[in-house]
Amino acid sequence: MARAVSTRRKIGFTILGWTVGFLIFFPVLWTVLTSFKTELQAISIPPRFVFFDWTLENYFAIHERSNYFRFALNSVYLAFGSTLVGLLFAVPAAWAMAFSPTPRTKDVLLWMLSTKMLPAVGVLVPITLIFRDFNLLDTRVGLIGVLFLINLPIMVWMLYTYFKEIPGEILEAARMDGATLAKEITQVLAPMAVPGIASTVLLSVILAWNEAFWTLNLTTTNAAPLSAFIASFSSPQGNFYAKLSAASTMAIAPILIIGWFSQKQLVRGLTFGAVK
């Protein structure tokens, strides 16, 4: 951006940019605004944008349906549980591929990615039947297993691209200086690996939190996370706009904030490093 930009041009783009940004963001904004209205004001014609009696009653109402917390807790368990298991599997694998590559490493990586292409409906029937036979339907353990497996390839890829950027010479230099294995890991490798692991965790949590196909099909109540809870609002008796908005706001707020923080890493994670 070395070129001088005329002020007029800049103001023009500012107006255009903010208008477009506002339009795209509008459904989210409208949901958040509606969550603070009374049910009556939520459906008032013409719609009220800011001038209404702000209230928290919908949030209290959602909390009173005491099970909301269970759904939220399930979301936390599933998103973080599957991510944690994923890390235990993916970190060693990515580490090995990045630091002791063999001629077959590339094939293994591509094969892992190919499992991600397996459409969920293709295996819906057997997974449902296996879950039924092993009493895993509507359990957190079962769902963590599935979510971990569908995100594992992405985690391996993302960690691999990060680990590859750690220069191997640093490790050798540390060894020459007589560093013990423990020191090597805690003082040399960890500081360089942690940012990559952190971005991978963020992406995995986002994907698992928002996952809907498996949560809708394999859970009913006990293990159902927020994505399934929200879906239950589509039944006629649940169509209270303000309450729906409050529940939606609470369901998307944490992930929206995490997502905003990790937007840069997201590109690498989602395109498997193909776009830089």
Partner 1 sequence: MATTQTKSAARLMMAPSVIALLIWMIVPLSLTLYFSTLNYNLFNPGDTPFIGLTNYRFFLSDPAFFTALRNTLALVLGVLVITVGGGILLALLLDQAFYGVNIVRLLVIAPFFVMPTVAALVWKNMMMNPVYGVIGQFLNFIGLGAIDWFSTAPLTAVIIIVAWQWLPFSTLILLTALQSLSEDQKEAAEMDGAGVLSIFWYITLPHMARAITVVILIQTIFLLSIFAEIYVTTSGGPGLQTTNIPYLVYSQALLQFDVGGASAGGIVAVILANIVAFFLIRLIGKNLDA
Q: Which residues contact 59 (CB under 8 A, 6 or more apart)?
A: 35, 246, 250
Q: Is the CB of 140 or the CB of 229 nearer to partner 1? A: 229
Least CB distance to partner 1 at residue 249 (A): 9
Q: Does 54 bind partner 1 (CB under 8 A)?
A: no
Least CB distance to partner 1 at residue 236 (A): 11
String of DSSP letters for 115-149: HHTS-HHHHHHHHHHHHHHTT-TT-HHHHHHHHHH
Q: Does 27 bind partner 1 (CB under 8 A)?
A: yes
Environment class of 145 (CB within 10 Å of its CB; exposed 0-12, middle 13-18, buried 19+): middle
Question: Measuring CA to CA, which residue among 73, 65, 78 is closest to residue 244?
Answer: 65
Least CB distance to partner 1 at residue 84 (A): 14
Q: Does 244 bind partner 1 (CB under 8 A)?
A: yes
Q: Does 5 bind partner 1 (CB under 8 A)?
A: yes
Q: Does 255 bind partner 1 (CB under 8 A)?
A: yes
Q: Does 176 bind partner 1 (CB under 8 A)?
A: no
Please pick, from the candidates 147, 206, 223, 224, the single residue that binds partner 1 as defined by CB under 8 A.
206
Q: Does 190 bind partner 1 (CB under 8 A)?
A: no
Q: What is the dihedral of CA 256, 258, 260, 265, to 10 degrees?
A: -130
Q: Is the CB of 139 or the CB of 210 nearer to partner 1? A: 210
Q: Does 270 bind partner 1 (CB under 8 A)?
A: yes
Contact assessment for residue 32 and residue 245, using Cβ atoms and an 8 Å cutoff: yes
Whole-angstrom distance, CA of residue 228 vs CA of residue 211 = 9
> Interface residues for partner 1 in 85-144 (CB under 8 A)?
88-90, 92-93, 95-97, 99-102, 105-106, 108-110, 112-130
Q: Does 185 bind partner 1 (CB under 8 A)?
A: no
Q: Does 73 bind partner 1 (CB under 8 A)?
A: no
The CA R_g of the chain, rounded to the nearest whole Å, is 23
The CB density around residue 161, as the number of other CB atoms within 10 Å, is 18
Q: Does 276 bind partner 1 (CB under 8 A)?
A: yes
Whole-angstrom distance, CA of residue 198 vs CA of residue 175 = 26
Please pick, from the candidates 149, 166, 174, 179, the single residue that binds partner 1 as defined by CB under 8 A.
149
Least CB distance to partner 1 at residue 58 (A): 14
Whole-angstrom distance, CA of residue 232 vs CA of residue 144 = 21
Least CB distance to partner 1 at residue 227 (A): 5
Query: Given the rule CB under 8 A, which of 51-59, 133-141, 191-199, 247-255 is the region that contacts partner 1?
Result: 247-255
